[in-house]
Structure 1
Amino acid sequence: MMKSIHSAYDALIIGFGKGGKTLAAYLANQGWTVALVEQSPFMYGGTCINIACIPTKFLIHDAELGKPYAEAISEKDQLIGTLRQRNFNMVDQSPNATVITGKAAFVSPHQVSVRLTDTGEEVLIEAGRIFINTGAKPLIPSIPGLQHSQRVFTSTTLMQQKQLPDELVIIGGGYIALEFASMYAQYGSRVTILDRSIHFLPKEDRDMADAVQIILLSKGIRIEQAVTVDEIIPGDDRYDTVVYHGQEQNRQEISAAAILVATGRQPYTEGLNLSAAGVEQDARGYIKVNDHLQTNIPHIWAIGDVNGGPQFTYISLDDFRIIRSQFFNFKPHTLTDRSQVAFSLFTSPPFSHVGLREHEALAQGYRIKVATLPAASITRAHVLKETEGLLKAIVDADTNQILGCTLLCANSSELINLVQLAMRAGFDYTVLRDTIYTHPSMSEGLNDLFAKLT
């Protein structure tokens, strides 16, 4: 039974993402009255749990285990349903917190109107402090025919399909595109990536980008660079046609049972009516915030993807810590404290990075020492039968401080956290070189990687 909705709360949180739900539960436990507004009952818990991190990583894991696609999708749906209910309960079971399912729109700086999803009724809520946590959504490019095709999907909608597409065309060459390419190729799809960039993974060092590309190619994935998609032509009951051209301007066509659009993301502020609150946005639509995540309206904050920071769940959780430190007895914490943030791209094997890349360190004028290590040289990689990949470390030659590290190997999403911790602690690289790790483990690769610097 839904709780009664009051007209006024100490805090109103718009959006059920990681930062928002954690903040809602915490504030309620501190005695604040809290309203958490989420427009969809299928998004309790936020993007990560429902349509991003958790379902994708679950499907990737099942692909690596060799499970049939339809079975994996069914198991994924069951897991997400369980997690969604758990997250709802985490907030709503507090006597001080109320989850309101509806679409929020500002009426004034302190007032928000919510159109309830189940009844269509509008309720007016006033709050002393408001936290916007509405996230981001896929950016859909203007390609002729795209809006009329029944085979165009986003990363969200593709995972809702029960049948594996035999021919998957991915428009885009970023991290989401590569993660889906790797996953669907393992399930058995024939995958083609159409990437507008001239270079594969252009932000990465060429040796690391090449290592990723070699692995994807070995899975049978076709990768086309410097491509412009011209048109999508609806086809028969099985395939559409994607028309594109490369640098030579020659028209090319490819059949697609499914087309994944992975060309970036944009802030989700649709219908929020930020102008009524006077909240400012940047040129791309992201909400402007200061180092405390405050908007230009002092009692309104923006947390998570909608504020234009790195779009990772763990960044949203750190946003919560920044908010928490402003109201309770915690060490002050702001955006300026955020450094050495690691990330992982969950291809198989995963690609993980923290700090500076080699070309970035050189551009910033560092004298550096560089070490690389084939993943196949690590004993544990052979035990796991995952010997593909490359490990790379960048160290300041003058101070022995670790400047950056990129790992393409089994368990790299765990190993990179160890490197990140060493960097944040200011450890000399020899600490990782000389630490005694369990055996056989992928961590032992850090012994050999950093030993190459001496």
Structure 2
Amino acid sequence: MKTVDNIIIGFGKGGKTLAGALAKAGQSVVLVERSDRMFGGTCINVACIPTKSLEHSARLSAVQGGGFAEKAERYRAAVEEKRRLTGALRRKNYDKAVGAGVEVLVGEASFLDGHRVSVALSGGGSEELRGERILINTGARPFIPPIPGLADCGAVYTSETLMERDELPERLVIIGGGYIGLEFASYYTNFGSRVTVVQDGPGFIPREDEEVAAVVLKSLEDRGVRVLRSAAVLGVKDAQVGAEVTVKTAEGEEVLPAQAVLVATGRRPNVAGLNLAAAGVELTERGAVKTDEHLRTSVPHIWAMGDVAGGLQFTYISLDDSRIVKSQILGDGGRTTQNRGEVPYSVFIDPPLSRVGMTEAEARRRGYDVKIARLSAAAVPKAQVMRRPAGVLKAVVDGATGNILGAHFFCAESQEMINLVKLAMDAGLPYTVLRDAIYTHPTMSEALNDLFAAVN
């Protein structure tokens, strides 16, 4: 049995970052990853990076136009480019970890007790490890709902597997109207697929600002995406075309033929096979590893980071989680989940939707003196230069203090702009700082001049 200072289970953003930091500090680290196809974690291999590679290719394809056969060829090339990119990043992440002094084992990790882990090696055999500290960073996996026929249909994919399909589906049905489903709807519409999104709830992206969500919905529908709300999926079955999805709406039942069906009904913490009970690690009611604000589990020397801890499922949260755990091991322990500031996010539809902070409705419910600023994306010169004038920008301001309460940008390059607002919010700066700043021209960031000049 090998004894080390740290066992890290999972090669995700948090795990690999912390592994490198601990190794450079002179501690012994073994990093266990179940598959050599997942070096670098979910983001690099099956989520952020490959999907955004496809998003970029899809936007270029939409501009080029052409018939379906031409679009299908461009899609095939985009999938190959995505594979090249993820393969290169996998190798880079492995080499970086090993170069820092981290030992990498490929296999399935399972707890034997609070300090010991057994690893069933992918090449055969097993290895037993004892760690002074153990860190869990195993991510999440797609959730497959119990819809009749779904598990047996050969044309059903998850967000991870659809990107491996070489053939562009002429018709794509997406089960789930959340962020992942909408991103894929946007990608495949730009590639040339006819996309139908089926969601069970009556609202459209209900956690977003209602006014902005309405603009997003109209934009998707104008681009040809069909969105069925308050729709129940009764069943999925194999068919000559690929699959048939039977749905029930207020208008009655409808059969949707499709070459591919994407299940985008969320992701669940990946704890299967870890045997956490043997270590005394508790789970939440939703099946995530239960942690405190320092990301410690119910066992003081075991931490959990990233999606498996049940928080926001963003790679940059996993990165920040590694900073929190690092502060426990190598620092003063002052960094926690409670003091990391505002968390922005972007949904990479076309154009992207980005948000930080509260919606207008949330701010009013909390009793703020709400002031609103709005700006059409078409009023931004750079949006016109890029031929991407669609969208709207909205900001929520506290009239009493001038502080920014929230920002909602549905426009080109919003994923970059939102970070400026997050910085201002974390620094406690009034909106006038962004209003009166000098920005380069032409850029999308200079829209903040006009947006915040419209506060009223």
User: How big is the shift at 1:340?
Assistant: 1.2
Q: Which residue of 2 aligns with 1:242?
A: 245
Q: Which residue of 2 aligns with 1:9?
A: 4
Alpha-carbon separation, structure 2, partners of 1:42 and 1:239: 28
Q: Which amino acid aligns with 2:340?
A: R
**Aligned 1:5-404 pairs, distance under 5 A:** 7-66=2-61, 68-95=74-101, 97-119=102-124, 121-236=125-240, 238-248=241-251, 250-329=252-331, 332-404=334-406
- State the SS of the aligned residue for 2:4: strand
Alpha-carbon separation, structure 2, partners of 1:100 and 1:327: 23
Q: Which amino acid aligns with 1:178?
A: L
Alpha-carbon separation, structure 1, partners of 2:446 and 2:85: 34
**Residues 77-96 of structure 1 deviation map (CA, whole Å, 9 limit, x = unaligned):** 0111000000011111233x
Moved more, 65-74 or 309-318: 65-74
Alpha-carbon separation, structure 2, partners of 1:280 and 1:262: 28
User: How big is the shift at 1:331?
Assistant: 7.2
User: How big is the shift at 1:414?
Assistant: 0.2
CA contact 1:44–1:85 (8 Å) conserved in 2: yes
Moved more, 55-64 or 65-74: 65-74
Alpha-carbon separation, structure 1, partners of 2:330 and 2:7: 18
**Residues 195-214 of structure 1 deviation map (CA, whole Å, 9 limit, x = unaligned):** 11101111122210111111
- State the SS of the aligned residue for 2:239: coil
Consecutive unaligned residues of structure 1, counting only runs of 5 or more, are: 1-5
Alpha-carbon separation, structure 1, partners of 2:39 and 2:257: 37
Q: Which residue of 2 aligns with 1:3?
A: none
- State the SS of the aligned residue for 1:447: helix
User: How big is the shift at 1:302?
Assistant: 0.4
TM-score relative to the length of structure 1: 0.97
**Residues 34-57 of structure 1 deviation map (CA, whole Å, 9 limit, x = unaligned):** 000000010000000000000000
User: How big is the shift at 1:328?
Assistant: 2.1
Alpha-carbon separation, structure 2, partners of 1:315 and 1:115: 29
User: How big is the shift at 1:65?
Assistant: 1.3
Alpha-carbon separation, structure 1, partners of 2:107 and 2:396: 49
User: How big is the shift at 1:367?
Assistant: 1.3
Alpha-carbon separation, structure 1, partners of 2:443 and 2:379: 12
Alpha-carbon separation, structure 2, partners of 1:375 and 1:431: 21
Alpha-carbon separation, structure 2, partners of 1:61 and 1:218: 20
Q: How many residues align?
A: 445
User: How big is the shift at 1:158?
Assistant: 0.1
CA contact 1:324–1:330 (8 Å) conserved in 2: no
**Residues 325-353 of structure 1 deviation map (CA, whole Å, 9 limit, x = unaligned):** 11224672001102310000000110000
CA contact 2:11–2:33 (8 Å) conserved in 1: yes
Alpha-carbon separation, structure 1, partners of 2:20 and 2:100: 7
Alpha-carbon separation, structure 2, partners of 1:17 and 1:111: 21
What value does the CA root-mean-square deviation take over the aligned residues?
1.0
Consecutive unaligned residues of structure 2, counting only runs of 5 or more, are: 62-70
- State the SS of the aligned residue for 1:234: strand
- State the SS of the aligned residue for 1:72: helix
Distance 1:333 1:398, change over 3 A: same
Alpha-carbon separation, structure 2, partners of 1:314 and 1:104: 24
CA contact 1:289–1:301 (8 Å) conserved in 2: yes
Question: Which of 427, 430, 445 is the equivalent residue of 1:425?
Answer: 427
User: How big is the shift at 1:256?
Assistant: 1.1
